[in-house]
Amino acid sequence: MNETFKALADPTRRHIIRLLKEKDMTAGEIADHFNMTKPSISHHLSTLKQAKLILDERQGQNIVYSLNTTVVQDVLGWFLEIIDGKDPGKGKEEDE
Amino acid sequence: MNETFKALADPTRRHIIRLLKEKDMTAGEIADHFNMTKPSISHHLSTLKQAKLILDERQGQNIVYSLNTTVVQDVLGWFLEIIDGKDPGKGKEEDE
DNA sequence: TAGATATTTAGACAGTTTTCTAAATATCTA
DNA sequence: TAGATATTTAGAAAACTGTCTAAATATCTA
């Protein structure tokens, strides 16, 4: 879980996730969305892949990346637990 | 949003959030849960506070920390949109 | 006001992260 | 097989992070 949260702590990587939410893309297509070198994007993809947030599959010359919604849901579960367990109706108690 | 995600990228800080989910606590009570110096915990609390994930209020000698569920819900919303953001007209473009 | 308690700030240091350029690997096509 | 295209790996520099000790600040109580 820590690897997943760390992977999500970078804006470029979150942007990649939002791109892959729309459709699967090759590494090159993803890189075209950023003002950054391809090796840098490749490194971000590697981080996301290691966190299992994305999946990769070679198709000829290209490598196609896709979102792994299972792991995204795991993180979602972490947040749901934080919210659900919290006593509702208890907000800021500032009375002045 | 970036500050929030970065704040969540550390296991100690996520642990603090889970502690505060149960009940409000003073800085010292929080520190007692970790094998780490109080200045280090204070620094983590400062990071969480800057990300608005927690709120602080002085009560005499103590400073009582509490969870800011509003911001936790904002992050939850980010994930919900990734998973089932089927609303085509409302795609979020930026998260920073 | 002095001393005790609670917490934060300051400064330092090792380890990690992000980014780059250059080079290597894999695949396709003529 | 040679050359072109797609992507990754390697190595290095700058910036950032997490942690510590020592010192400062804030509050309470006698």
Distance CA A7, CA A96 (A): 41
Arithmetic mean of pLDDT over chain A: 89
**Of B89 and B83, the one with more pLDDT:** B83
Q: Can you give the distance from the CA of residue B1 to the C1' of nucleotide C13 in angstroms?
A: 30
What residues does each domain of chain A span?
2-79
pLDDT of residue B90: 41
Quick: pLDDT tens for A50-62.
Answer: 999 999 999 999 9
**pLDDT band of A84, cuts 50, 70, 90:** confident
pLDDT of residue B65: 98
**Of B96 and B43, the one with more pLDDT:** B43
Phi-psi region of B59 (alpha: psi -120 to 50; beta: other; left: phi over 0): beta
- What angle, 0 to 180 degrees and rounded to 10, lies between the N-to-C axes of helices A69-84 and B11-22? 40
Reply yes or no on domain A2-79 having CATH 1.20.1260.10: no
B2-83 architecture in CATH?
Orthogonal Bundle (1.10)
pLDDT of residue A93: 27
**Would an 8 Å CB–CB cutoff place B27 in contact with chain A?**
no
Q: Can you give the distance from the CA of residue B82 to the C1' of nucleotide D10 in angstroms?
A: 34
